[in-house]
Amino acid sequence: MNRRQIYHGFLLAWLAAFLLLGFLVWSFQAGYLMVVIFLFLSSCVYVLCAFLARCPRCRLPVLLRPVRTFGLEFYTWSIVMPERCRHCGTILS
């Protein structure tokens, strides 16, 4: 398994955990709060992952996507890891 398949596997496991948690605890007294806390904590982990998942060649984050607007370069996050690095074009394995 390459790095991209492992990342997509974790993404599917997170989605399954979110749906399972949502269906199981929503009827509790503070179930909605558990779901909000889960989303907050998992988004914090995702931000760390977005900065730590780097291209092996150019060492730039692969989950950050450059967007040029009005001559400025902004970075947006992508939830799906690309096949190639957006900066240098190296195949991510």
Tell whether 14 is covered by a domain: yes
The domain tally of the chain equals 1
Tell whether 66 is covered by a domain: yes
Tell whether 87 is covered by a domain: no
Cα separation, 56 vs 62, in Å, equals 10
Q: What domain range includes position 12?
A: 3-77
Tell whether 21 is covered by a domain: yes
Kindly give the confidence (pLDDT) of every residue in the chain, 93 residues in length, as a single tens digit, with 9 standing for 90 and above: 677 788 788 888 888 888 887 777 777 777 778 778 888 888 888 888 778 888 888 888 888 888 889 999 888 887 778 888 888 888 877
Tell whether 93 is covered by a domain: no
Helix (H) or strand (E) holding 19: helix 3-25
Tell whether 39 is covered by a domain: yes
Tell whether 37 is covered by a domain: yes
Q: What angle do CA 37, 46, 10 make, to 5 degrees?
A: 100
